[in-house]
Structure 1
Amino acid sequence: MPSWLPSVPYPPARDDGYWAPITSTLDWCEENYYATPYSAEIVNTLTNTLFLYLGLRGLRNCRRHAHPRIFTLTFLGYLLVGAGSFAFHTTLKYPMQLVDELSMIYTTCLMFWATFEFGTRQPVPALLGVGTAALAVGITVWYHWCGDPTFHQNAYALLTACVLGRSMWVMERNLRPYFRRKAQASSASSGAVTEAEKREAARIDRRDEAIIVLMWKVIGVGLSVFLGGFAIWSLDNIYCSTLRRWRHAIGLPWGILLEGHGWWHLMTGLGAYFYIASALPPSRQNSWLTLWATQVWGIWLRHCLNGRQDEYELQWPSLWTSIPQVVKRASANGLAKRSS
């Protein structure tokens, strides 16, 4: 440790904290109860406050800009994931572990149903709902029986990949002017098109092309942050003993920067806020089954699928130093005037 950089030694880890004994099947690389007897993993606990902050920010944004009520529910689900993880890392108790992990599975299963039933007719949505519910129950029973965290992680990763892939396809198919024109050409009746209609069609094409570019930017940043967090978490698992040795060598507070699982919370929380999304037709907006973790991209995509691109926009002043939000265009103009 450089002599010019002040630090204090790490207190010893303990096994007699307030929530002892540990009953969870997972115990992460952060040493237990070294900072306080009331939190088993203090850094892993406090980094979940980002979920709570972004969840509350999302709820406020939904109320201020009149987003569909379903998104209020999705941000409540986002808050639940953060609160469950907060409780799990504080206590390292098995019931709290299940709250943390199974809330992720259930929310993603709802995303799965909501994404794949889009554009289908009965009885497909009902059958898909029954199948997805059976999948969620099956994952729960198997995970509780085998107790293997790798099974939970693989199930969550596979479900998430399916949801994201389908959502991107829905976005491209419905918003990309090339695909939209092909669909219109196959169903439109022949008739004269006025010059005003041609100009309006060209304006809509330019608008939607710009929206698609910015949407992919949101997805790219969100995915990069999410996968970066996963990489750091993996290194934290593989090189735990080395990282613990380095933390003790450099002392506090600098050793906190080597808490990989804490970085995982920060980066996946932000990445999920950016882009985890699905899309539902307007007729499904009030269904209880639409409780899924759809954040900024999902809100914007929903407005676009409802043909409201001229009413809403994505406000994102700086790519890496600000958090995007979907606002009414009148509100965005008002904010710009007040800031100028």
Structure 2
Amino acid sequence: MAPTSVGFWGVPTSTLDWCEENYVVTSYIAEFWNTVSNLAFIIPPFLGMIQAIQDKLEIRFIIAYFSLLAVGIGSWFFHMTLLYEMQLFDELPMIWGSCIFLYCLIEAYSPPKSHNYKLGSALVLYSMLVTLVYLEVKSPVFFQACYGMLVVLLAGRGLYLLM
């Protein structure tokens, strides 16, 4: 069967369409290889979450694994369908998950079972604001800027912890 740009999920509605040709391998998966590669973001975090629960680690670590799992599942559905709603299911967990990881890195040397409510509240507020603005603006550049800022903060904090 000849490749088509419209498959099982209909015409793509996402604001982004990656470099992979759509519906080449199967009419049920828009970007086959981008979809399948997300197993690397689904299986290891799932296993890590189970191990963290078994090891009775703090809830922040379990939530961190869960956030990676959410990104993997969201990305799976986005690349499978190329629908705007699934794009949100991919991108918004990246914002929320990065805030969770930033919390974990900032609190890396805090006493066990302690909670930094000010930091947690600030990161939740940031995630909520980005979510609400992105739902209204629908600009990939806005998302990329907000996510990029979190990545820079994560990298900076990680480097600081290594020194």
- Paired with 2:119 and 2:52, the residues of 1 have a C-alpha distance of 29
Residue from 46, 58, 66 that aligns with 1:56: 46
The unaligned stretches of length 5 or more in structure 2 are: 111-115
Q: Which has the higher contact order (CA 8 A, sep 6+)?
A: 1
Preserved contact between residue 64 and residue 101 of structure 2 (Cα < 8 Å):
no
Question: Cα 1:56–1:134, aligned 2, differ >3 Å: closer, same or farther?
Answer: closer
Where does residue 25 of structure 1 map in the other structure?
15
Any residues of structure 2 matched to 1:318-337 within 5 Å, and which?
none
Q: What TM-score, normalized to structure 1?
A: 0.42
Find runs of 4+ consecutive structure 1 residues off by over 6 angstroms. Answer: none
Question: Cα 1:117–1:60, aligned 2, differ >3 Å: closer, same or farther?
Answer: closer
Any residues of structure 2 matched to 1:291-330 within 5 Å, and which?
none
Whether 1:13 aligns to 2:32 is no
Question: Cα 1:111–1:55, aligned 2, differ >3 Å: closer, same or farther?
Answer: closer
Whether 1:145 aligns to 2:119 is no
Whether 1:68 aligns to 2:45 is no
Percent identical pairs in the alignment equals 35
Letter in 2 for 1:103: P
The count of corresponding residues between Structure 1 and Structure 2 is: 158
Where does residue 113 of structure 2 map in the other structure?
none
Which has the higher Rg, Structure 1 or Structure 2?
A: 1
The unaligned stretches of length 5 or more in structure 1 are: 1-10, 173-340
Q: Offset of 1:60 from its aligned partner?
A: 4.8
Any residues of structure 2 matched to 1:154-165 within 5 Å, and which?
154-165=145-156
- Paired with 1:113 and 1:158, the residues of 2 have a C-alpha distance of 14
Question: Cα 1:111–1:73, aligned 2, differ >3 Å: closer, same or farther?
Answer: closer
- Paired with 1:85 and 1:95, the residues of 2 have a C-alpha distance of 11
Residue from 118, 124, 127 that aligns with 2:118: 127
Letter in 1 for 2:86: M
Preserved contact between residue 52 and residue 79 of structure 1 (Cα < 8 Å):
yes
- Paired with 2:53 and 2:126, the residues of 1 have a C-alpha distance of 34
- Paired with 1:68 and 1:84, the residues of 2 have a C-alpha distance of 25
Preserved contact between residue 55 and residue 78 of structure 1 (Cα < 8 Å):
yes
CA deviation string 1:123-175 (max 9, x = no partner): xx433333322221221222222222122122212212212322332454xxx
Please, what is the CA RMSD of the aligned residues? 2.6
Whether 1:38 aligns to 2:34 is no
Q: Offset of 1:63 from its aligned partner?
A: 5.4
Preserved contact between residue 117 and residue 128 of structure 1 (Cα < 8 Å):
no
- Paired with 2:79 and 2:158, the residues of 1 have a C-alpha distance of 32
